[in-house]
Amino acid sequence: MAENMIIADAKLEMWGYALGFTPTALVKCAIDLQIADVLESHGGSMTLADLSAAVNCSPPVLRRIMRYLVHRLFFKQTTTSYSLTPLSRLLIRNDPDSMAALVLLESTPAMLAPWQRLSLRARQAEGSPFEDEHGRDLWDYTNANAAHSKLLDDAMSCVATATAVAIVDQYPEAFEGITSVVDVGGGDGTALRILGKAFPWIHGINFDLQHVVGVAPPCDGVEHVAGNMFEAVPKADAAFLMSVLHDWNDEECIEILRKCKEAIKTKVMIVEAVIREEEESKYSDVRLALDMVMLAHTSGKERSLEEWEFVVKAAGFSSFTVNHMDAIAALIEAYP
């Protein structure tokens, strides 16, 4: 009897894995229909009839979609209306804390297709399922596809906002005595805008490829500079790399870090997840899932403390410190 219950529970869990894409698909559907935006613009609460009319959706179909999203805590339901929750507020597109762009990026056909090739990746030492699927790596694909480039930039802006705010709140001392910072792979400059507001004495250099910085919005105190981090990095007191090195293999990381070391006076700040297999925290699942995303889409990986020590020391840095935060990422400071 006990063995049958164990098997039954395992089957139920397997049902969850088999249907695992359902939550992502429904969240994307909610974003596409702008359900959270419409609720927000109508005071945060609407009846099914009013919501259906506002999003131009069939009431019976919308009721079924909302039933699932209510069950997953994206919305609240009373006998007469639906309303927002902390989760659904993150889907409001013009909200500074919105994570809608990240969901939209990861649910595109271009990003989903490589997952079907993950088993093949397990049998090869190099490359990525993304490259196998599209005939070019993620960066060449993005460079050639303006729409995908915009999705990627917007998604990375979501990540940068959350992580930069955590650094400002938890480790402001990291920027004491720093007068200039080059954000290597800084995208649209989101991180530097947040850091510059918190530390107005800093001159920021947002450094990325031409097709990225060419469309980055202007910002006081931030200079947009185009270039290739594998060739040279602009000079500054410190270099800042957020969610960059996990995209690259060890040899590539070492080369990027060497270019940063040549450019800086004080230190290189690396903002990345640190995998701690013995740790069970609210961030553990996200960190391990990110490692699988790297496996599917890039040549990189999320690294353990020992793996970070290897690439930092191999790049010629004499020492480094790891500052764990109440966040997905940690702040690693490497000193020449």
Q: Is 246 a residue of the active site? A: yes
Catalytic, out of 131, 133, 246, 333 = 246
Q: Pairing relation of β-strands 319-324 and 330-335?
A: antiparallel
Q: How confident is the model at residue 10 (pLDDT cuts 50, 70, 90)?
A: confident
Note the pTM of the prediction, 2 decimals.
0.89
Digit-coded pLDDT (tens) for 44-58: 999 999 999 999 999
* Structural contact between residues 78 and 118, judged by C-beta atoms closer than 8 angstroms: no
Catalytic, out of 40, 131, 133, 302 = 302
Q: Is 252 a residue of the active site? A: no
Distance CA 309, CA 306 (A): 5
Taking CA 291 as the corner, what is the angle to CA 313 and CA 6, rounded to the nearest 5 degrees? Answer: 135
- pLDDT attached to residue 282: 84
* Structural contact between residues 234 and 227, judged by C-beta atoms closer than 8 angstroms: yes
- pLDDT attached to residue 273: 95
* 281: pLDDT strictly greater than 90: no
The residue-averaged pLDDT of 256-265 equals 97
Gyration radius from the chain CA atoms: 22
**165 Cβ neighbours under 8 A, 6+ residues apart:** 194
Catalytic, out of 40, 131, 133, 272 = 272
Distance CA 188, CA 206 (A): 8
**35 Cβ neighbours under 8 A, 6+ residues apart:** 51, 55, 66, 69, 75, 88, 91
* Structural contact between residues 251 and 299, judged by C-beta atoms closer than 8 angstroms: no
- pLDDT attached to residue 177: 94
**140 Cβ neighbours under 8 A, 6+ residues apart:** none
- pLDDT attached to residue 128: 87
Q: Which domains does the chain have, with CATH numbers?
A: 2-89 (1.10.10.10), 158-335 (3.40.50.150)
* C-beta atoms surrounding 289 within 10 Å: 11
Sign of torsion, CA 33 34 36 42? negative
> Which run of H or E residues covers position 164?
helix 146-170
* Structural contact between residues 115 and 106, judged by C-beta atoms closer than 8 angstroms: no
- pLDDT attached to residue 302: 96
Digit-coded pLDDT (tens) for 191-205: 999 999 999 999 999
Digit-coded pLDDT (tens) for 112-134: 999 998 888 788 767 789 999 99
Counting beta carbons within 10 angstroms of the beta carbon of residue 171, is it exposed (0 to 12), middle (13 to 18) or buried (19 or more)? middle
b/e 215-230 (16+ beta carbons within 10 angstroms → b): ebeebeebbbbeeebe
Q: How confident is the model at residue 187 (pLDDT cuts 50, 70, 90)?
A: very high
